[in-house]
Amino acid sequence: MNAAFRALADPTRREILALLRSRPFTSGEIAAAFPATWPTISRHLAVLKEAGLIAAERRGQHVRYELNTSVVEDVVQHLLGWVKKGGRHRGS
The per-residue pLDDT for range 9-30, each reduced to its tens digit, is 999 999 999 999 999 999 999 9
pLDDT at 92: 44
So where are the chain's domains?
Answer: 2-82
Residue 50 has pLDDT above 80, yes or no: yes
Domain at 2-82, CATH class: mainly alpha
Residue 87 has pLDDT above 50, yes or no: yes
Concatenated DSSP letters of 12-64: HHHHHHHHHTTS-EEHHHHHHTSSS-HHHHHHHHHHHHHTTSEEEEEETTEEE
Q: Label residue 90 by pLDDT band (50, 70, 90).
A: low
Region 61-69 average pLDDT: 94
Between these two residues, 85 and 56, which has the higher pLDDT value?
56
